[in-house]
Every structure is written in structure tokens, then in C-alpha cells.
Amino acid sequence: MNVNTDSSIPIYIQIAEWIENEILADRLITDGKVYSQYQLAEMFNINPATAGKGLTILLENNILYKKRGLGMFVQGGAKEFIVEKRRDEKLTILAKEIVLEAKRLFVSDDELIELIKKVQKGC
């Protein structure tokens, strides 16, 4: 993954979301060590402070925890928390946008459901 410097999403948020995606994909597991801010900075060619800010967000949300002198690790239940958070935040926002656009285009509920099923089969 590369960070998108042209995105309206701050780089530190992109880093936090990338780590969350790694947890969701089981590439980072409960009690597993997470990349340091310096490793992330090197991986993504960014300032270590920016990477550290992304890690801090995950610490504050109890997705990661710190072991003094050893680094950061994935908190138990982190995957479930991320799924719930994204369902509540992102998926709800996206669903509202889709429903509103469907109404503007006079797409019936049945047509919208069929469209979603069609897209889902292609994924």
C-alpha cells in the first residue's frame, strides 16, 4: 500500500486504516507485534511523527496496546471492534448515500436490492 498524498484523508489516518486492514485480514493478530513508527515511516516514506500519530489513534481506541520497551501489540477483540466501528460509521454513511442517490434516480427498492446482489456477485 502507498499513502495517497493527494487524498483529503490525512496520512496518519491512512496509516491507522492500513493497520486496521492488516488486522481484518489476519496479517496482524491478537497479541501480535505491530510495526514501529520508524518501520512504518520507512515502509511508506513518511515522517516518523506522522506514523506515530496513526499508531496513537489506534492506542486511544484500544485497538493496540503498548508493552514498555517492547513496542505495540494488537489488543484482544480488536478485529471485532474494527468491524463494529466500520459497520456503524462507514457502511451506514455509504448506505445512506446509495439510498439517497437511488431515490433521486427513481430506482425502486427491489431494483436497488438486485443491483447490490449483482455487484456482490462480482466482488
pLDDT tens figures, 30-64: 999 999 999 999 999 999 999 999 999 999 999 99
Please give the CATH architecture assigned to the domain spanning 11-76: Orthogonal Bundle (1.10)
Q: What is the pLDDT of residue 6?
A: 80
Q: Which of 21, 26, 16, 25 is nearest to 72 (CA)?
A: 16
Percent of the chain with pLDDT over 90: 85
- pLDDT (mean) for 78-94: 91
pLDDT tens for 102-121 read 999 999 999 999 999 999 99
Rg (CA), the chain: 18
Query: How does pLDDT run across 17-36, given as a tens digit for each residue?
Result: 999 999 999 999 999 999 99
Is residue 69 packed enough to be buried (19+ CB in 10 Å), middle (13-18) or exposed (0-12)?
exposed
Break the chain into its structural domains and give their ranges: 11-76, 79-122
